[in-house]
Amino acid sequence: MMNKVEICGVNTSKLPLLSSEQMEALFVRIKQGDKAAREEFIEGNLRLVLSVIQRFGNRGENADDLFQVGCIGLIKAIDNFDVTQNVKFSTYAVPMIIGEIRRYLRDNNPIRVSRSLKDTAYKALQARDKLIGQEAREPTITDIARELNMSKEDVVMALDAIQEPISLFESVYHDGGDAIYVMDQVSDEKNSDEKWLESIAINEAMSKLSEREKKIVDLRFFQGRTQMEVAEEIGISQAQVSRLEKSALKHMQKYV
């Protein structure tokens, strides 16, 4: 979807590209209320929106929707840009576009977050900014909780709730060669060498048991049955199941 030529009826292969001088001249006219200059400036920066939405291409979102939301961010950037500051427009606009898209994704997230949690999270972020200004350092969760007169657990829960889920296939590093994805940095505890060796040891220990003991261990610990259920299936008493289970586990300990 992100590689298609036409998005929202716009032929992206024919989008204009403005020079710095053209943008400066257009901004003078925009500040004077020239709507035609504003439209020309927007069209001349649509490539910027396209470059930003590429970052969100693995979210499964419709490219047309993201492009429209990104254009809203672009327009907000144009309306709020201060030409007297020594900052390139693209440097100012990109975070605005990203922020608009992130708000859209958060508000349309299938994982719904309650309004109270959102309010708490935004208060925590405001408290964090306030503390940074006062103390010139990154505040801890304890500092933020104390500032809000709340428990640390509530602050953590609220901040976690507004975090955007990311794809395991989202690129975290790219140096021109093979990209490194999130999934490459996630450990697999189920398939570690220790788990593999433990599995071999358990299989080896199981092979030393009698057929009845194997059946009991399998039903109890691999299928999650109760002793009563095992007793009914095998046709013996629960007391016998308990005795055979203990004997089997004791025997297996020699090999695990």
What span, in angstroms and rounded, lies between the C-alpha atoms of 236 and 229?
A: 10
pLDDT of the residue at 1: 47
pLDDT in tens, 141-186: 999 999 999 998 888 888 887 776 666 666 666 555 566 666 666 6
pLDDT of the residue at 251: 84
- Decide which of 117 and 156 is more confident: 156
pLDDT of the residue at 59: 67
pLDDT of the residue at 88: 86
Q: Is a pLDDT exceeding 70 seen at residue 6?
A: no
The reported pTM is 0.44
Cα radius of gyration rounded to whole Å, the chain: 30
All domains in the chain, ordered by first residue: 6-107 (1.20.120.1810), 115-163 (1.10.10.10), 190-252 (1.10.10.10)
What span, in angstroms and rounded, lies between the C-alpha atoms of 19 and 95?
A: 21
